């Protein structure tokens, strides 16, 4: 915690994250009450805290130069956790934030490298299969909002992959068919820990030019002969 600064600075940066950064969907995987309690108890993952503070710095600090030091340390801590076999969803969350920090800083090479680590870690944690009814979630006995947090994190990684691959299938590391989890729920349900059926991603066909048509959102069942402008949609449950 001392690597960031005083408790007041950490609190200000954390508040800035949830006010200024969190509303962007790719950052909405943190459950605010849980994260706040972890910070207060000093049980929060250091790499995740550093990443949160770094991405929030420009909203709080007149000079956001310390953010570069924090993001570098967040990456170092995350890599140490991976190398030591102690990787968790918090490790992955820090990498997701680091990717976007690098992207906004126009350090595209660093962002590209970080995206690869995030994607592989997401699959190592099996978050693409992590659902309320999965064996892993039952074994760990996580609460519903903890499951939803991991689900949102996996979708954040999915969006990173879509951005990096630019929609071309040969550059894609997360095929649509591997996303065997529901879509994120609405914000009120997540904040209040209320279980919510948000539906699933419907899989598009790949066009003749090798580019995936945009995924759709819909109910778990869809008629096989229904057509979109770009191809036939299939239900994700069949994969």
In a domain, 205, yes or no: yes
Q: Does 122 share its domain with 210? A: no
Contact at 8 Å (CB) between 99 and 115? yes
Quote the domain boundaries for residue 86: 7-193
pLDDT in tens, 143-166: 888 889 999 999 999 999 999 998
Query: How far is Cα 31 from Cα 55, in angstroms, rounded to an integer?
Result: 17
User: Which tokens hold the place of 38?
Assistant: 């972890």
Average confidence (pLDDT) over 7-28: 92
Q: How many independent structural domains does the chain possess?
A: 2
Portion of the chain with pLDDT greater than 90, in percent: 52
Compute the half-sphere exposure of residue 84: CA atoms within 13 Å on the CB side of its CA: 9
In a domain, 2, yes or no: no
DSSP state of 20: I
Q: Does 68 share its domain with 32? A: yes
Is residue 194 pLDDT above 50, yes or no?
A: yes
pTM for the full predicted model? 0.80
Rounded to 5 degrees, what angle do the CA atoms 63, 68, 70 make? 105
Q: Which helix (DSSP H) or strand (DSSP E) does residue 111 occupy?
A: helix 108-124
In a domain, 164, yes or no: yes
């Amino acid at each position: 915690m001392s690597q960031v600064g005083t408790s007041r600075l950490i609190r200000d940066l954390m508040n800035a994250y949830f006010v200024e950064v969190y509303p962007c969907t790719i950052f909405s995987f943190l459950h605010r009450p849980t994260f706040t309690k972890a910070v207060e108890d000093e049980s929060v993952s250091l790499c995740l805290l550093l990443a949160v503070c770094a991405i929030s710095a420009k909203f709080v600090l007149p000079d956001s130069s310390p953010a570069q030091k924090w993001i570098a340390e967040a990456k170092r801590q995350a890599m140490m956790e991976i190398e030591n076999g102690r990787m968790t969803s918090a490790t992955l969350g820090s990498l997701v934030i680091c990717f976007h920090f690098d992207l906004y800083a126009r350090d595209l090479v660093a962002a590209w490298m970080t995206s690869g680590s995030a994607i592989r870690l997401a699959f190592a944690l099996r978050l693409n299969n992590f659902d309320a009814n999965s064996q892993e979630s039952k074994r760990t006995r996580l609460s519903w909002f903890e499951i939803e947090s991991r689900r949102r994190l996996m979708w954040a990684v999915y969006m990173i992959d879509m951005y990096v691959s630019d929609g071309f299938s040969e550059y894609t590391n997360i095929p649509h068919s591997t996303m065997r989890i529901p879509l994120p729920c609405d914000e009120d349900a997540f904040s209040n820990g209320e279980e919510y059926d948000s539906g699933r991603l419907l899989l598009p066909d790949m066009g003749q030019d090798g580019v995936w048509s945009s995924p759709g959102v819909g109910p778990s069942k869809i008629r096989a002969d229904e057509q979109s402008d770009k191809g036939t949609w299939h239900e994700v449950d069949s994969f």
